[in-house]
Structure 1
């Protein structure tokens, strides 16, 4: 028989988890389900005791995952297209639950047959091997897989194609002549990107109260600020990781967020949860070295971010006020960690300043998405027609921040703390310049979607920040 004709008669069998999609459907579905409905942890434990196939089935029924939400591998889709061009049958053969498998098959429309776990059988490893041998015979199918569980199936296949292999699958492939399918390499920096180390720069705000109270020469207070900085950073990163797991569906529909390490599958759900747990332990360990007031602020941050993740982020305007408040909470953390006096002026300025930046973020999302005037932004409560109103609010907040700063510079408190308070007056136009420039760039579609990160990376904003620091120092010294 002609080799090509023989190949056409042999089905190409595609594994799902880790192969067709760069994720594990069970782990991801279970994590999303329990983060949304933590009270189901005990039923989930009981489902697991009844068998993994039962756990898969019950989780699939409740998690609400959509077929379009999964991170499909382009390389495997290309392999499927090539097989179909050769008139070969393509089967989806997976240990996933029936609902997950059939939804994906229906969504892609590429499979001639679907084999999946059922109420009695978990279709993985040896069970999958036996099912394929029964249908095709030994060596009567080609198989695309990626993990240790696929090795028994590789042994029975005519040809083994290996995608993004784990250590066991790679070793088998090298020893037994498996064909490796090249995929996009996962960066070693993916875990650091997942915890968003660059966002730690925002937590520099913790040190602002210490500087403005001229306590920067006190070693114990400097140590307290350092502990608070890393404690807050670890805690915030853990929240980022959990939020990314919860919001996977929306992130994968977003033009840029779909490339986040968890959303694209570069960091697995088990790894992400382990990282989050380690960060929380580290955060609480450092917090134990700080005053009880700091614990209260950290708890407040956790409470507000949780509410933001599940509810507030989808509420019109409440979301941006919450974001502005979370920046101000960082200043409160610095006040609590160092036991310095809270400044009304600092907190008022912070609210208006960061409200302007939060509104920039929403403006950029509305501008980049280019949705219809009557259509809502994905995952938000803003309509396309709200863009101008959002801009007006943000610009008004920028001027309000400059006004609060001007009133502060003219207050009795500044006269008492600074030898030359008049030196501080240039701070007002500098702050206004920074914020107005951000809004101008946003209106030109030249703004990063996170304006705080933009400020930290933009050299003009850095010059403004440095100039402001010099003015504060000179005013204190003279």
Structure 2
């Protein structure tokens, strides 16, 4: 409607515009529903992965339908692009018809449309038709004619549609798309609502978690051989290889946990859950990191180190797919994954794995795994969630039992340390082994402090990473090592 001196002139009829057609994957949605459903299927039904090949053999439409109907995707937490939604709302306010035209399956498209309540019409793939590229172009032309609609998209599959549209809108284009569409259609300025940065990739790889790999050096420290430069060099190689391998695991775990992460107050901001990084890019990086880690390890370190790393990867994969949702098994496996780093150090340095290191590490890391679960459940109870924790096998009511088991495990680690001091082999390693007794109250204090902080809701990160970053823990660790140095 026209405005004259700030007032609406009712006698002038409203302007009419052609329909605005919106693509979904990579445009309105900062993700791809085919990839989303594929990851959800692998996570929920890993033993039925061969079904995917059967659907794919029947065609892409059958694949999309099979995955869409076999998985549960919560459309309310998908990473929608807020700027595109604002654009749609502005156009809708003018009375313009808004159409969702997507290659995703109709069942998902309709649920998204019902959730957002922005669209007058939904066009999507079904059993017999994959609504992408030329198929989408033909359907839109049949509805509105050539030049009878404006189209918002992002990929090379949208090029045929832009060619017959009145106006082209390009959003976060794939490489090479922007120049090609400019040569064939009338284009609005390209919208870049988000770009992946190096910081996003560092966050996805969880490089801060590489601090855990310092555990690789524990066997070298325990054997009093830190001064041997050749072994220290091997330790650095092992640290880096294990870090790259762990990053591959972290990315795969994030891809499998997209649904759960989006319901978590902090994990929903992870690069893949938020749509800052694409699932496709993650799937490329996972094997690339894995090959780099194992290729380097086989070239630079004893084969036993690679064997331990392979066991770590396999156990982590089992944890991501199933074990993390089983009560008790999840924390035991977490403790084993921490301990695997120490075993990897033993393999890298060609040392002997002692009973004392194995027993101590299992108890102390079981305690820290319990800390991690306690912190998650405490947060759920604070939010008055009384059902089973999403993606876990615990209820908020299990808090007291977890605290009891976790603190007990930590104190058992102290008892193992005390028994180690009395072992005959220990006395042969140290000049004054009785000095190590002073390390016991230090460890008792640290375990107690960690659990008290967790009980108070002040444990907001991985407890091992917390221990490495926390000033008090650093001081206790330094004095702890000092006791062993004096004893030696």
Using structure 2 for the length normalisation, give the TM-score: 0.89
State the partner residue of 1:421. Answer: 433
Does structure 1 retain, via aligned residues, the 8 Å contact 2:170–2:187?
Answer: no
- Pair 1:84 & 2:96 matched: no
> Which runs of structure 2 are paired with 1:127-146 in the superposition (5 Å)?
127-146=135-154
Query: Aligned ranges for residues 24-43 of structure 1 at < 5 Å?
Result: 24-34=32-42, 37=45
1:377 to 376, 384, 389: 389
Distance 2:65 2:385 in 1: 41
State how far apart, in whole Å, the 1-side matches of 2:191 and 2:72 are. Answer: 31
The answer to whether structure 1 residue 325 and structure 2 residue 369 are counterparts is no
Identify the residue that residue 446 of structure 2 maps to in structure 1.
434
1:196 partnered with 2:206:
yes
Match of 2:312 in 1: 301
Equivalent residue for 1:355, pick from 366, 371, 389: 366
Distance in 1 (CA, whole Å) between partners of 2:354 and 2:42 is 41
**Offset of residue 37 of structure 1:** 4.7
1:240 is matched with which residue: 250, 260, 269? 250
Aligned-pair RMSD on alpha carbons? 2.7
Q: Partner of 1:13: helix, strand, or coil?
A: strand
CA gap 1:375/1:55 in 2 versus in 1, 3 angstroms: closer
Contact 1:23 1:265 in 2 (8 A): yes
Instruction: State the SS of the aligned residue for 2:152.
Output: strand
Correspondent of 2:30 among 16, 22, 25: 22
CA shift for structure 1 position 41? 5.7
Instruction: Quote the residue 1:215 is aligned against.
Output: 225
Q: Deviations over 1:37-62 (max 9, x none)?
A: 56666554454454433332233233
CA distance in structure 1 between the partners assigned to 2:120 and 2:133 by the alignment: 22
Provide the aligned length of Structure 1 versus Structure 2. 476
- Aligned-partner SS, 1:316: coil
Cα distance, 1:60–1:436 mapped onto 2, change above 3 Å? same
Q: Per-residue CA shift, 1:106-142, capped at 9, x if unaligned?
A: 3333322100123443322333233223212333323
The answer (yes or no) to whether the contact 1:161–1:180 under 8 Å persists in 2 is: yes
Alpha carbons 2:194, 2:276 under 8 Å: kept? no
Which residue is 1:101 aligned to? 109
Greater alpha carbon shift after TM alignment, 375-384 vs 132-141: 132-141
Structure 1 length as normaliser, TM-score? 0.90
- Look up the SS of the partner of 1:161 in the other structure: strand
Conserved? CA contact 1:316–1:382, under 8 Å: yes
- Is the 1:245–1:269 Cα contact (8 Å) retained in structure 2? yes
- What secondary structure, in the 3-state scheme, does the structure 1 residue paired with 2:103 have? coil
Correspondence 1:165 to 2:176: no
Quote the Cα distance in structure 1 between the aligned partners of 2:351 and 2:13. 81
Between the aligned partners of 2:214 and 2:138, the Cα distance in structure 1 is 59
Out of 330, 333, 347, the residue aligned to residue 336 of structure 1 is 347
Q: Which residue of 1 aligns with 2:215?
A: 205
Q: Is contact 2:42-2:256 (8 Å) kept?
A: no
The question of whether the paired residues in 2 share the 8 Å contact of 1:125 and 1:153 is answered with yes
**Structure 2 match to 1:364:** 375
